[in-house]
Amino acid sequence: MIYEAVDNMKKKGQQEVKLPDLKEDIEKKVSFFKVRGTLSADGGWFRDLTSLKRTGPVLLEEGDDSLTVGLELALEDMEFGFKNYRAEVFHVGMGGQMSVRVGKNSLKGKVTMHFDGPKCHTHVDDIELTQLGQLDIHLTGLGRDGDLVYNLLANYLANRFKDKIKKEINRHLADPIRAALAKKDICEKFPH
């Protein structure tokens, strides 16, 4: 099923997907005060969904008329960025390009088969990014006051941006996995 989903994404050129534009207020506590700033970014991209691999055992959970298959997954090559970012802290602004390589990630997926007599229907319950870590952040245009901005952005990306990435991964992986399920009936593997 994973191979089929990856193959579908490659055929459709979905190695790279667009990320929505950002406009966020960011803050970080430094000693006894909070440093506040703003971040806006456009031209966002995320890749490579086609590097999806299974990383752990398949877990089966049996219900009265269903069987749920749990998968541990990861993207071997995960990177995101923005063609243009603009950050402002203490009325000092800077901008440039941003790219972030993710060294460690993990996803959990759930597919459920519902049995209705001789019929079986499958659907993707969830694809969830559970870990996003070891971020290697590259920013252009930092200038002489770049350390503070870099620290603010690193904190933001590591903590709050994870939810935005998670949403995009869920959105872009669920459809290819649904298509793979439709193409190759997983129900045939489980007698009912």
CA distance 177 to 186: 11
Round to whole Å and give the CA distance between 56 and 74: 9
CA Rg, the chain, in Å? 20
Q: Give 154-172 pLDDT, tens digit per residue.
A: 777 766 677 777 777 777 8
pLDDT of residue 185: 63
What does pTM read for this prediction? 0.77
Q: Which of 90, 83, 84, 101 is nearest to 28 (CA)?
A: 90
pLDDT for the residue numbered 129:
84
Give the pLDDT score at 160: 67
Which range of residues forms the domain containing residue 49?
2-189
Q: What is the pLDDT of residues 116-155, one digit of tens each?
A: 888 888 888 888 888 888 888 888 887 776 776 777 777 7
Q: How many domains does the chain have?
A: 1
Residue 93: its pLDDT value, please? 80
Amino acid at 144: R
Per the CB < 8 A criterion, the answer to whether 187 and 113 are in contact is yes
Angle 161-183/146-159 helices, nearest 10 degrees?
40
Q: How far is CA 47 from the centre of its chain?
A: 9
List CB contacts of 168: < 8 A, sequence separation 6 or more. Answer: 17, 19, 20, 46
Q: Tens digits of per-residue pLDDT, 19-64?
A: 889 898 887 777 888 878 888 999 999 999 899 999 999 898 999 9
143: domain CATH number? 3.15.10.50
With helix as H, strand as E and coil as C, how does the chain read?
Answer: CHHHHHHHHHHCCCCEEEECCEEEEEEEEECCEEEEEEEEEEEEEEECHHHEEECCCCEEEECCCEEEEEEEEEECCEEEEEEEEEEEECCEEEEEEEEEEEEEEEEEEEEEEEEECCEEEEEEEEEEEEEEEEEEEEECCCCCCHHHHHHHHHHHHHHCHHHHHHHHHHHHHHHHHHHHHHHCCHHHHCCC
Q: Which two tokens stand for residue 93?
A: 């602004």
